[in-house]
């Protein structure tokens, strides 16, 4: 139960698990055309593990399609510009992974303007309007801003779950402060600038005192009088880099208006499509043990 509600729907940050499989499984797994499908094999294994353990009645598998076309790129062209584009063989495997998820009867969400985070955030909102609780399946700290009494997060690989109190323990801030926290720190992986010289500990102290990024920037002169190391220099950094902090906040906030199913039925898990499964698994050269696991699903 979450906040008195049933665990109504699971929202999976799929790309995370595809990339993990891509990096951890040898590329000698090939399809009938001799093309590598190592990531697909690993992702299929993850999905079956997930279905066996969670036994979801409702779920959505959310993929990133917007590495260079996210709405955030129009706000800040350098957003994620430091990331290499996935090679053609991985793009091909992503397409296969979506096919596998659909064949297993799962809703697949993807968009060229919104990232998986935004699809999940928007789905959380849609589910909430139907009084349906949600579990976000991911290890990504960005999802902390979505956690509430009816939404929790599950790091599937480590089998660790956390709620609102868990966010405070992990990051030092409350869920409603997470986007501000990330904006202050910046993110080298996503090329979000943040405020130079402000790390996680300082960001948490500042938000504990001022509550929000807007309040902090409006009262940045007061920071110099806080009892913390480097208070004066931090105050100066905030004054100098306030525009960067505000820009970063536009990038760290998860959008809640992405196109996702509005009705609960749009997330309903269907029975696996035997014909599609057999044809797809033949192409992928997935063996009898994997097919037996599919047949054994509830």
**CATH code that applies to domain 175-252:** 1.10.150.20
The edge-to-edge listing of strands for the beta sheet with 151-155 is 107-109, 59-62, 9-13, 134-137, 151-155, 160-162
Cα distance between residue 186 and residue 199, in whole Å: 8
Cα distance between residue 7 and residue 68, in whole Å: 34
Main-chain phi, psi angles of 219, to 5 degrees? -120, 30
pLDDT of residue 61: 98
First to last CA, the chain: 21
* pLDDT tens column, 32-91: 999 999 999 999 999 999 999 999 999 999 999 877 889 999 999 999 988 888 899 999
Supply the pTM of this predicted model.
0.95
* pLDDT tens column, 239-287: 999 999 999 999 999 999 999 999 999 999 999 988 999 999 999 999 9
CATH topology of domain 9-166+260-290: Rossmann fold (3.40.50)
Length of the chain measured in residues: 298
Domain range summary for the chain, segments of one domain joined by +: 9-166+260-290, 175-252
């Amino acid at each position: 139960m979450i906040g008195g509600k049933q665990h109504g729907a699971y929202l999976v940050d799929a790309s995370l698990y595809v990339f993990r499989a891509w990096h951890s499984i040898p590329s000698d797994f090939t399809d009938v055309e001799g093309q590598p499908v190592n990531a697909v094999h690993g992702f299929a294994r993850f999905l079956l593990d997930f279905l066996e353990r969670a036994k979801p009645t409702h779920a959505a598998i959310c993929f990133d399609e917007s590495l260079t076309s996210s709405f955030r790129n129009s706000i800040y062209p350098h957003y994620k510009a430091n990331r290499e584009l996935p090679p053609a063989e991985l793009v091909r495997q992503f397409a296969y992974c979506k096919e596998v998820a659909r064949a297993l009867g799962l809703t697949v969400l993807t968009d060229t303007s919104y990232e998986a985070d935004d699809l999940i955030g928007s789905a959380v909102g849609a589910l909430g309007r139907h009084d349906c609780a949600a579990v976000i399946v991911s290890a990504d700290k960005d999802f902390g801003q979505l956690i509430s009494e009816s939404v929790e997060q599950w790091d599937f690989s480590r089998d660790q779950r956390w709620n609102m109190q868990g966010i405070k323990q992990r990051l030092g801030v409350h869920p409603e402060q997470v986007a501000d926290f990330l904006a202050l720190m910046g993110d080298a992986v996503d090329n979000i600038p943040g405020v130079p010289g402000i790390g996680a500990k300082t960001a948490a102290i500042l938000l504990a005192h001022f509550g929000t990024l807007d309040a902090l920037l409006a009262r940045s002169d007061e920071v110099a009088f806080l009892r913390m190391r480097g208070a004066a220099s931090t105050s100066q950094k905030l004054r100098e880099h306030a525009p960067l902090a505000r820009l970063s906040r536009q990038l760290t906030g998860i959008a809640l208006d992405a196109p996702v199913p509005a009705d609960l039925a749009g997330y309903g898990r269907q029975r696996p499509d035997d014909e599609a499964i057999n044809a797809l698994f033949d192409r992928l050269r997935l063996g009898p043990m994997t097919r037996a696991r599919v047949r054994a699903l509830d």
